[in-house]
Chains A and B, each alone.
Chain A
Amino acid sequence: MSTRKSLITSNLRVLTGLVLITWLILPLIPLAIWSFARGWFFPDLLPKTWSLNAWNYALSDTAGVLDSLWLTIGISLAATVLSILVGVPAGRALGMYKFKGKEIVELMILAPTIVPGIAVVLGIHSVFIFVGLNNTVPGVILVHLVPTLPYMVLVMSGIFANYDASFEAQARSLGASALKTFWYVTLPAIMPGIIVGGLFAFLVSWSQYILTLLIGGGRVVTLPLLLFNFATSGRNDITGAIGMIYILPGIIILLLTARHLSGRSGAVGGFGQI
C-alpha cells in the first residue's frame, strides 16, 4: 500500500517536472522556428518551407543588425566598467566600515532597484536636453548606471564584509606601494565579486529598454529596440533571428558562471531587472 502510494507521488513528481520543463522552454520554441521559416501561415503547425533568409539578413553588413549588436555590446561594457570603478570603492565603504547615516546611504543606493525606471527617466530626459546628452551614446551609458550600479555595490559590500584588511597593512609594512598593494593583495581577493557583479551589471544594461528609448531618442538603436521594432512590424522571421542573437550573451555568461550563481547571493536580485 505504502509503496504504491510512493510510486504515485514519484510519478506525479516526474509529471509536474515535465510540465514545468515544457513551460520553461515553450516561448523560445516559436521564436527559434520562425527564424528558419519562410512564410509560416495559419493553420500550419510547422513552416512549409524552411530558409536561412532571416539569418542572412540579420548577419549581413547592410541590415544594421550587426551594427546594433556591436553598439549594444559597447554600451553594456562601458556601463559595466563604470559600475565597477564606482561600485568597488562604495562597496568597500559599506562592507568594511560602520558610520553614522550608513542606513540612509544604503537605502539611497538600493532605491533605484525598487522605483521603476519610467518614473525617473522622464526627469533625466528634460535635464539631458540642456546638457546635450540626449540622443547620444554617452547619455545612454550614463542613464544605464542607474539600474546597474546598485547591484555592483550590493555584491561588493558583501565581498568586503568578509574581507580581511590586515593583509594590506602587512604588504604596506613590507614596503609595497599603495598601488602595488592594491594590485597584488586587494584585487585578487575581491576578483570573484568584481566578476559576478560585473556580469550582473552587463546583463542588466543589456536588457534595458525604456531608458535607452527615451535618452537615445531613436538615434541610439540597441538590440532590444531593434527587436521591438521588428516584432511590432510583423517581420516574425527576422524578429526570431534577432531574438536568438539577443539571448546569446546571457547563455554564454550562464555557462561560464553557473557555479558562482546561487540564490543565496544578494546579487540574484539583479535578475529581477533583466
Chain B
Amino acid sequence: MSDRLKITLLLLPAMLIIVLLFFGGLAIGLMRSFNYMPVIGLTEPDLSAYFLVFTDREFYLSFLLTFHIAFTSTVISSILAIGAALLLRRNFVGRSIVNFLFQLNLTVPHLVGAIGMLYLFSQSGSFARLAAEWNLIAKPSQFPALVFDPYAIGIILQYIWKEIPFIGVIVLANMQSIGEDYESVARSLGASRWQTFRHVLLPLIFPGVLSASVMVFAFTFGAYEIPALLGANYPAALPVLAYRKYTDVDLAARPEAMAMAIIIAILSAVMIYIYIRYSRRRIRG
C-alpha cells in the first residue's frame, strides 16, 4: 500500500466526522442564515436575518457584554495565574495542597462552579449572610447584586475561579522546563527582581500564556450555560441570545439565530487572530 493511500485511509474517519458534523453544521447554519434552504422550499437567499440582527439594539448590548465577560475574565485570570505559578514553583507550606486543588478544579465542570458562585454571591448567599452576621446589612436586598447583575460580576468570578488553575498549570510546566538559570544570570548581572521577571522570564513563558489565554477567551466568549445561569435577563450574553432566538415559538426567528451563530463563529475567529498578532508584536517590541 502506498503511503498516500495509507495516510488517506488513516485520516478518513476523523475527517469525515469533522467535515460532516463541524463544517457541515457551520455550512448549514450559514445557508439558513441567508434564508436559503431548498429542502423546505426556500430557494431565494437574502440578507434579511442579518438586517434584523444588525438593527436590533439588544444584539449590540449583548455583544458588548459578551466581549466584556471574555476579555475581563481572560486578562484577570492570566495575570493571577502567572502570579500563582510564580508562587507554586517555590517551596512553601501548603504547596502540595495548592497543586492538588489546581488539578482538582480542572476536572470540576464550569456548571458546578457557577452554581457554587450562585450560592456564595447571591443576595441570600454565604457572603450576604456573613455581612448580616457582622451587621453590615439587615436584609438580603441590601447586599450588592453580584449575580444576575448588569456587569456580569458573578460570571467573571466563576471564570476566574476555573481558569486560574487552567492557565496556571500550563505556565507552571513552562517555568519548570525553562529552569531558573536565565534568571540567575540576569540577577548576577545586576537586574532587579522586576527587571528579571519582565525582561527574562515573561518573554520565555509568554507563548504558553498566550495559547492558554486564547483558549480561555474562545471558551468564555462562546459558553452558554454559565451566563444562562448567572447572567442578567437583559442584555443576555450572545450565545444565550442565539439559543433563545432559535427556540422561539416563532420559527421565523430561526434564521436570525443562525445569523447570530455565524457572527459568533466569525467574531471569535477574528478576535483570536487580532489577539495573537497584537500580543506577539507587543512582546517583540
Contact = CB atoms under 8 A, between A and B. Distances in A.
B264 A14 contact: no
A28 B19 CA distance: 39
A261 B87 contact: no
Contact of A114 (B223, B257, B268): B268
B116 interface: yes
B173 A263 contact: yes
Contacts of A114: 214-215, 218, 268-269, 272
A153 B14 contact: yes
B133 A123 contact: no
Contact of B29 (A13, A87, A120): A120
Given A17-B95, A21-B97, A93-B7, A116 B221 contact: yes
B103 A261 contact: yes
A149 B18 CA distance: 8
Give the bracket for the number of chain B residues in contact with chain A.
Answer: 35 or more
The binding surface of chain A is classed by DSSP as helix
Given A93-B11, A114-B272, A142 B21 contact: yes
A116 B221 CA distance: 8
A44 B222 CA distance: 37
A174 interface: no
Interface of B: 3-4, 6-7, 9-11, 13-15, 17-19, 21-30, 32, 37, 39, 83-84, 87, 90, 92-95, 97-98, 100-113, 115-120, 124-126, 128-130, 132-133, 140, 158, 161, 164-166, 169-174, 177, 208, 211-212, 214-216, 218-219, 221-225, 228-229, 239, 242-243, 246, 254, 257-258, 261-262, 264-265, 268-269, 272
Given A17-B98, A227-B112, 18 more contacts: A20-B98, A28-B112, A34-B119, A42-B124, A42-B140, A44-B129, A45-B133, A90-B15, A114-B268, A115-B265, A123-B27, A124-B25, A146-B25, A207-B109, A210-B239, A214-B243, A232-B229, A269-B211
List the 4 closest pairs (A to B, CB-CB), nearest first. Answer: A116-B222, A27-B116, A263-B173, A250-B107
